[in-house]
Amino acid sequence: MRIGLGHDTHRFEEGPARRPLVLGGVAVPFHRSLVGHSDADVLFHALTDAILGALGEGDIGDVFPDTDEENRGRNSAEFLKYAADLVYERGWRFENVDAVIFAQAPKLGPYKAQMKIEIARILDIPPEMVGVKAKTGERVGFIGREEAISAEAVVLLENDP
């Protein structure tokens, strides 16, 4: 078995949203957007890092550097799919995936089920193997001050016999 841990944080842009806020592959209505070279989906970035870590492949920046113009505005589902494909190519399988999104706003409760389904679809696993939680910053720190959104994820892989 192998465990991978992933983390990502993106700050909010100043002023009104210039692009949709996408978390876990789901467009979340909000008046602000996140800064990022790709689509800034912190949940997919954290999950991708967790998978790459479990495989001993570094992190998302190693595979999809922000210095590569091909990654500008890129859909982060492509990053997650790439990492999932590596899992299967190397003879591993997912046992479970668990993630937490840290955001004071917007409220994410209504979107967690959709995120779970989208993650399961991309990883080609049943939705019951995916956990998605959302926590506020309780008005403390950069999350609580609504300066950024952050996510953490863990994956458990087992060698496919």
CATH at 107? 3.30.1330.50
pLDDT of 71: 57
Contact 48, 60 (CB under 8 A): yes
14 or 53: which leads in pLDDT: 53
pTM: 0.94
Contacts (Cβ under 8 Å, ≥6 apart) of 10: 34, 35, 36, 40, 42, 148, 149, 150
Contacts (Cβ under 8 Å, ≥6 apart) of 55: 2, 4, 83, 86, 87, 90, 92, 157
Nearest alpha-carbon partner for 2 in 46, 57, 41: 57
State which residues form the domain around 92: 2-159
Total count of domains within the chain: 1
pLDDT of 66: 77
**pLDDT classification of 160: cutoffs 50, 70, 90:** low
Q: What percent of the chain has pLDDT over 70?
A: 97
CA torsion sign for 91, 88, 86, 24 is negative
Q: Which residue has the tokens 């997919």?
A: 44
